[in-house]
């Protein structure tokens, strides 16, 4: 009877011991018996990761990785070219870069990674070429328009200094012309070069008309000589050498501005 009891206890111990061992291990590792779906999901992810590592070592996976790197570099080059408005200033090179990139993606979709990688690298080169060409054109336009803007501004400031204090209409026109030049400068800063060039062209025409009207006004309203033979103190004296007696003759000009000899000849009554 005792032997039977001992054998029964031994059998129970043999069956219970593994379960007790698993219980204590689960407590230590955080394993949860109540969520078998979670266990299956974790095992599945581990299996997928293991297969992915094996796949990365295959020749096809290495080609795909190389294509992905070239793709990222091509995208970065295209974005840089786009920021410099390459589609506007270098349309041919930009279109070729985009076309090459689209063809690269098509080959990659068919798992032709060698061709995809080659086309992506060509797309990068063409995008960089488009960017450099756009930058060059922008720099040239900014320099040319900037010099023209500076020249018109200098001319307008010189003419504005000649406007008599009582010529309100001419003063208003000078202010409007200054605003027009400011608009052209803003268009240049926004890289709206076509609008800037049109604005400068119109401003140049308006400044020429303003100069003509200003000289006409000065001829019609010459400065009055004072009783002592001098001229009003508000005018600026321009010294000229008399060809007959080599004496210095002084004549006032409004606005404290010294005229160029060509401009003095245009208003002879101020030189009398």
User: Token pair 């589609």 is at which residue?
Assistant: 87
Tokens of 225: 């000589």
pLDDT of 18 over the 90 cut:
no
Number of helices and strands (H, E) in the chain? 9, 2
What pLDDT does 188 receive?
92
Handedness of CA 126, 131, 135, 141 (dihedral sign): positive
pLDDT band at 221 (very low <50, low <70, confident <90, very high): confident
What per-residue confidence (pLDDT) applies to 61? Answer: 81
pLDDT given for residue 59 in this prediction: 63
Give the whole-angstrom CA distance, residue 177 versus residue 9.
111
* Confidence grade of residue 252 (pLDDT, cut at 50, 70, 90): very low
Distance set, CA 209 to CA 73, 212, 214 (Å)? 55, 5, 9
DSSP per-residue codes, 171-190: HHHHHHHHHHHHHHHHHHHT
pLDDT of residue 228: 45
Higher-confidence residue of 35 and 156: namely 156
Q: How far apart are CA 191 and CA 96, in angstroms?
A: 24
- What confidence category does residue 201 fall into, taking pLDDT thresholds of 50, 70 and 90? very high
pLDDT tier at 264 (50, 70, 90 boundaries)? very low
> pLDDT band at 148, cuts 50/70/90?
very high
Residues in contact with 229: Cβ distance below 8 Å, sequence separation at least 6, in sequence order? none
Helices (H), 30-112: 36-56, 59-83, 86-89, 91-109
Q: Mapping DSSP to helix (H, G, I), strand (E, B) and coil, where does residue 237 land?
A: strand
Q: Give the residue, 30 or 241, on which the prediction is more confident.
A: 30
Contact 237, 252 (CB under 8 A): yes
Across-strand partners of 238? 251
What gap in Å lies between CA 250 and CA 239, rounded to an integer? 5
User: Poorest-confidence range of 55-64, 76-85, 177-186, 203-212?
Assistant: 55-64
- Measure Cα distances from 259 to 142, 156, 162, 215, 218 in Å: 30, 13, 9, 12, 13
Question: Does residue 17 sit in helix, strand or coil?
Answer: helix
> What pLDDT is stored for residue 46 in this prediction?
65
Mean of pLDDT values over 173-201: 94
Is residue 16 predicted with pLDDT exceeding 50?
Answer: no
Residue 176 — pLDDT band, cuts 50, 70, 90?
very high
- State the Cα–Cα distance between residues 74 and 80, nearest whole angstrom: 10
Give the pLDDT band of residue 13 (cuts 50, 70, 90): low
**253 and 162 Cβ atoms separated by less than 8 Å:** yes
Q: Which range among 36-40, 167-171, 192-196 shows the weakest confidence by mean pLDDT?
A: 36-40
Which residue from 174, 171, 182 is spatially nearest to 206, judged by alpha carbons?
A: 174
**Three-point CA angle 91, 132, 127, nearest 5°:** 60
- Whether the CB-CB separation of 127 and 80 falls below 8 Å is answered with yes
Q: Where are the domains of the chain?
A: 143-220, 236-271
- Average pLDDT score, the chain: 76
């Amino acid at each position: 009877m005792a032997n039977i009891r001992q054998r029964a206890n031994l059998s129970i111990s043999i069956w219970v011991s593994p379960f007790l061992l698993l219980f204590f291990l689960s407590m230590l590792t955080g394993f949860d018996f109540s969520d078998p779906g979670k266990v299956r999901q974790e095992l599945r992810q581990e299996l997928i990761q293991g297969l992915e590592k094996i796949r990365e070592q295959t020749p096809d996976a290495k080609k795909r990785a190389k294509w992905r790197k070239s793709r990222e570099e091509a995208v970065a080059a295209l974005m840089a070219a786009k920021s410099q408005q390459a589609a506007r200033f270098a349309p041919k090179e930009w279109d070729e870069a985009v076309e090459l990139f689209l063809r690269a993606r098509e080959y990659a979709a068919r798992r032709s990674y060698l061709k995809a990688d080659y086309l992506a690298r060509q797309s990068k080169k063409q995008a960089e070429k488009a960017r450099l060409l756009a930058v060059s054109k922008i720099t040239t336009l900014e320099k040319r328009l900037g010099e023209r803007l500076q020249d018109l501004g200098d001319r307008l400031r010189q003419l504005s200094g000649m406007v008599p204090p009582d010529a309100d209409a001419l003063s208003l026109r000078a202010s409007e012309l200054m605003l027009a030049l400011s608009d052209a400068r803003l268009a240049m800063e926004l890289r709206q070069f076509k609008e800037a060039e049109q604005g400068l062209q119109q401003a140049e025409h308006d400044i020429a008309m303003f100069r003509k009207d200003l000289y006409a006004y000065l001829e019609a309203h010459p400065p009055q000589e004072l009783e002592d033979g001098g001229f009003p103190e508000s005018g600026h004296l321009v010294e000229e050498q008399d060809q007959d007696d080599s004496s210095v003759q002084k004549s006032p000009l409004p606005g404290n501005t010294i005229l160029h000899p060509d401009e003095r000849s245009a208003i002879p009554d101020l030189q009398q």
